[in-house]
Structure 1
Amino acid sequence: RFRGMFAFALWDRNQETLFLARDRLGVKPLFYALLPNGQLLFGSELKSLLAHPELGREIDPCAVEEYFALGYVAEPRTIFTSAKKLPPAHTLRVRRGQPLPEPHEYWKVRFTLDQRLTATEAAEELVIRLRESIRLRMISEVPLGAFLSGGVDSSAVVAMMAGLSSDPVNTCSIAFTDPAFNEAQFAQQVADRYQTRHFVDTVESDDFGLIDTLAWLYDEPYADSSAIPTYRVCQLARKHVTVTLSGDGGDESFGGYRRYRLHLMEERLRSLLPLRIRQPVFGLLGRLYPKADWAPRVFRAKTTFQALTRDPVQAYFHSVSILRDEMRQQLFSDSFKTQLGGYDALNVFRRYAAQVEGSDPLALIQYLDLKTYLVGDINTKVDRASMAHSLEVREPLMDHPLVEWLATLPSSLKIAQGESKYLLKKSMEPHLPHEIMYRPKMGFAVPLIRWFRGPLKQRVRDSLTGERLLGTGLFNADYLRHLVEAHESGRRDYSAPIWTVLMFEAFLRQMDGGERVEKQPDIKRQSL
């Protein structure tokens, strides 16, 4: 019956039973571990469990494989063999003196796609449902606001909030000095339209002093570099409000990611030829076609050729992997690959894909993202960044009745006429400027390529070729040197793999007792 985000524990003294529960979409985290002496530890941060001297620190080889594939350790694993995450929409009931049971799943979204509404009818109902979800999350006895990036999701949330509030909405945005990453002008358009009380922090593009702070916050390896601007926007918001609303979750439910359209295109091609023909033909093309990170997207066909040799789940896993199969095979040492015993992070996607009803290709990958990327990456990022500043972030687009309703709508209302988030954009046409909704998606990003060839060049070299990484026995030293040298020279863009390795090294440094250091960037603050 609960609605919204939660993670809690209840102790029944009479039954001597502990009850743990986590919200449906995994907005809030919950960790637990059973010690050899029978004690059960639990907490909202892994570091709270690590404070116990009896908790083992042995790194889980399968978690390492998942991290380097996905950029996070997927539920229910943690980086340590001794601890687990309680998965979203699960409970755990532990009775004193009895073995630790498996968690119980109490909710699952079903993509039935059987709702028969016209686009106009669906858009009208969506606005009603959005307003209800946002109204519930605006109930607060402390100062309230919203993140405003200038994208369609956060802009839609602010538009609905403005219609529900008699006072100006507090909105917070991050601007960057590098125009390639700056969306501040679009956020300003929405703020002006709704006359919000708008706060902007302009962060210098070389705001890389957070690396060690992030490693300390996340407790286990985490490789989404947008954690940096997310940390900054939470830092800004907390100066003005205690609770803020976010637009997270919109891409997964409304069909917003660019990769969704690419996957659907590939699925149409896969449907034309059986796998036995696709594998040899496109496999050969994938091997022969040069890797072209530097080229315009239309010419980067190698990845597409490789994807066409795979089944849909393999192909989607391949498309979202940071270090793809062949790169992980080169990155890991022979001894570590033996430890893995053939385990592949693809198993995470296979497990969830087996739960999907029907054969709709968009529903499949939306479900996979709701179970993996949304929880392991997006929600993890926002929870750690907000909690670091004692800021409560509420997620109206993850309202479970809204998510359930959207899962009943046909995929043709989510991606249509070449447009992602078709239904959301149609519903917001009376409320938002056309330019906000129909411009290319940017997202939070940082200039990793330039950092690793410039101001962070020496740190990258020291970290990737240093003793801390090599001493683990997990990595192939020759391949680590290749990543560094090929990126420095400009021959390849290895910025995402290098960041992933760099954050693993920063995690190891924290485990070795490293200091949490934050270099404050130059910030220009304005209230508009």
Structure 2
Amino acid sequence: MCGIVGIFDIQGGRGIDRDLLGRMNQRQFHRGPDEGGVHTEPGLGFGHRRLSIIDLSSGQQPLFNRDKTVVVTYNGEIYNFQALRAELEALGHRFETHCDTEVIVYAWEAWGEACVERFRGMFAFGLWDRTRRTLFLARDRLGVKPLHYAVLPDGCLVFGSELKALLAHPGLPRRIDPQAVEDYFAYGYVPDPKTIYRDVYKLPPGHTLTLRRGGPVGAPVAYWDVPFAVRENLDEAQVRGELIERLREAVDIRRVADVPLGAFLSGGVDSSAVVAMMAGLSEQPVNTCSIAFGDPAYNESRYAAEVAGRYHTHHRVEQVDPEDFSLIDRLAGLYDEPYADSSALPTYRVCELARKEVVVALSGDGGDETWAGYRRYRFHGYEERVRALLPLGLRRPLFGTLGRWYPKADWAPKPLRAKATLEALARDSVEGYFHGVSLLSDVQRGRMFSPGFKRELQGYHAVEVLRGWAAKAPTRHPISLAQYLDLKTYLPGDILTKVDRASMAHALEVRVPLLDHPLVEWVSCLPPALKLRGTEGKFLFKQALEPYLSKNILYRPKMGFSIPLAAWFRGPLQAKLRAAVSGPALAGSGWFDMDYLKAMLDQHQSGIRDHSAGLWALLMYESFLRLDP
């Protein structure tokens, strides 16, 4: 795993400032502490920080083809590189290393832009072909690896793994994008392709960007999508067997490494499934790790210990200090833009723990999105049944009125907290799903933002992110559509971003077998009833795993990976939160109604309402504003 940067003169061959390129590269030292490399030529500069995983003695980057006409800087792993190498050798290409990087340059020579369709793995890379005068940027199908880029006012394009690399360039505009701020407070992250800055973009997952010197800067082009082409009349027993074989193979190809390898083991279904497959493939005990919390409501360590005991793993567990606040001020620097998933804190700690034993760790990320494991899919399905009974013209006034009058009862038992459901039923399908996943509701954001900020938005609403993806979706089934929206937004924008930054802060490579793209394609084409049946998410996945994991692991209530924010904000973080939310950074932006922010604080800290999610988002945004880019 690595960090990449580049500078490309779009219109000509001006000289590249090698010192500047080096500084951009060094901003990502944490991503690749083993080696660094820089290449410059007229109009082009590539930089690379290397975390050595395969072929430790060679494979330094930027890496060239034999005649030095093609050069690549690359972050990731291509798991089928050996098969591709054999195919390329049969076409006459000669290799000088045993690493997967060299496959990219010859795959480009053989297949051009279509080369990415051959790659199985996680990757982001920039490639320059001097003969074709072409720069080619690419990102893997699911967005496991990041890639940011911007076109500067001077006509150069810059790119990098993390925003901090681009921010090292003095010519990068730093204007905050109001639409990205609206998105952030709705979703808790800035969805692709936006970043917090108007002029900087994320290359979307499953997309490439091709620039020819002297030509225009076009739009990214999609090369892959999740099919959701449902196959009917399947034999469930056969599907269970095929699932295990596909899962085992996806895990197996991710075990290739010349450095110590292990796995995260939370005790949940997904990480436990990965460990079970690893144990069956390895002659040596699998290295596993987990973290424990003192509060039983957040502690899954005993379930992790059960799986570790069953498979005789070399298990390491550490208890997190229940008042470990030291990371809060560091999060903004890790993510470079506002990011409000508070599970970033324990994720950072479990990556820190894993790196003490291994350099590569397999994770169970992606199982909820692909197998419909989130409770919100079930609730969305219920709401869709009601929506089907009444037209929107009747539902909107009926449920809208009920939702406005129904009290916000954070204190009440869950069955009595009907306000959000009533509000969702007053909306169409996409609006309803958006309402369910929103960090702060439309009403809350409307009250939180100042009139000046609303003018800056010019009518923009964060639901447009989901509407855009829904218009492209290959399915109209309510559950499959919700999964598709999450695969395009929440998975890359929140889950994979969280793991990438937290792991790379410790120079730890994380591989995600449940997001193996052939496996994702296959699962997407299974009938929705095999994923969500009644109240049971991941239905067939859990059934297939019954020979490998106990029912105590498979069928217990989902806990998640969270921290006690509400209690923190009423206790040890009370003063810090008040200083941040009422401080000069938020007030000075002119984009917030400070009286409403004070009301949120007062209501939460008095126990009247639970505003912990919104207050955490404000705390993280305030930390971002105080960053020195």
The TM-score with structure 1 as length reference comes to 0.96
The 2-side partners of 1:227 and 1:235 are apart by 12
Rounded Cα–Cα distance in structure 2 between residues aligned with 1:418 and 1:225: 27
**Number of aligned residue pairs:** 512
1:78 counterpart = 2:189: no
Q: Give the residue type in structure 1 aligned to 2:385.
A: R
Q: Which runs of 5+ in 2 are unaligned?
A: 1-117
Provide the rounded CA distance (Å) in 1 between the counterparts of 2:446 and 2:535: 36
5 Å-filtered alignment, 1:37-186, equals 37-186=154-303
Q: One-letter code of the match for 1:210?
A: L
**Contact 1:30–1:43 (Cα < 8 Å) also in 2:** yes
Measured in 1, the distance between the counterparts of 2:534 and 2:169 equals 55
User: Aligned residue for 1:253?
Assistant: 370
Q: Which amino acid aligns with 1:464?
A: V
Asked if 2 retains the 8 angstrom alpha-carbon contact of 1:150 and 1:187, the reply is yes
CA shift for structure 1 position 358:
3.7
1:124 shift after superposition: 0.9
Q: Identify the residue that residue 380 of structure 2 maps to in structure 1.
A: 263
Aligned to 2:492: 375
Structure 2 equivalent of residue 504 of structure 1:
621
**SS of the residue 2:205 aligns to:** coil
Equivalent residues of 1:116, 1:409 under 8 A apart: no
Separation in structure 1 between the aligned mates of residue 475 and residue 346 of structure 2, nearest angstrom: 38
Q: Kindly report structure 1 stretches of 4+ aligned residues shifted beyond 3 Å.
A: none
Distance 1:205 1:420 in 2: 31
d(CA) in 2 for partners of 1:164 and 1:357?
36
Q: Which amino acid aligns with 1:152?
A: V
Structure with higher Rg: it is 2
Partner of 1:242 in structure 2? 359
C-alpha distance in 1, partners of 2:416/2:260? 49
For the pair 1:464 / 2:581, whether they are aligned, the reply is yes
2:14 matched to which residue of 1? none
Q: Deviations over 1:336-375 (max 9, x none)?
A: 1000000011000000001123421101000000000001
For residue 460 of structure 2, what is the aligned residue in structure 1?
343
Deviation at 1:117, TM superposition (A): 1.4
1 or 2 for the larger relative contact order (CA 8 Å, sep ≥6)?
1
* CA distance in structure 1 between the partners assigned to 2:437 and 2:618 by the alignment: 17
Q: Could you give the per-residue CA deviations for residues 88-141 of structure 1, whole angstroms, max 9, x where no partner exists?
A: 000011111222110110001111112431222211110000001000001111
Q: Return 5+ residue gaps in structure 1 as ranges.
A: 514-528
Residues 226 and 446, structure 1, Cα contact 8 Å, conserved in 2: yes
Matched-pair contact (CA < 8 Å) for 1:6–1:28: yes
- 1:330 Cα offset (Å): 0.6
Secondary structure class of the residue paired with 2:310: helix
Q: How is 1:97-496 mapped onto 2 (pairs within 5 angstroms)? A: 97-496=214-613
- Determine the C-alpha separation between the residues in 1 that align with 2:336 and 2:246: 36
Over the aligned positions, Cα root-mean-square deviation in angstroms equals: 0.8
Contact 1:70 1:322 in 2 (8 A): yes
Once residues 483 and 363 of structure 1 are traced to their aligned partners in structure 2, the CA distance between those partners, rounded to angstroms, is 36
Residue 156 of structure 1 and its aligned partner are, at CA, apart by: 0.3
Question: How far is 1:17 from its partner?
Answer: 1.2
Q: Structure 2 length as normaliser, TM-score?
A: 0.81
1:73 Cα deviation after fit: 0.5
CA distance in structure 2 between the partners assigned to 1:348 and 1:116 by the alignment: 35
What is the letter of the counterpart of residue 278 of structure 1?
R
Q: Distance in 2 between matches of 1:5 and 1:214?
A: 24
Could you tell me how far apart the structure 2 residues matched to 1:208 and 1:364 are? 38
Identity %: 62
For 2:443 and 2:198, the matched residues in 1 are separated by 26
Q: Which moved more, 1:227-236 or 1:416-425?
A: 416-425
Instruction: Note if contact 1:215-1:221 (Cα within 8 Å) is conserved in structure 2.
Output: yes
| Contact kept in structure 2, 1:10 and 1:18, CA below 8 Å | yes
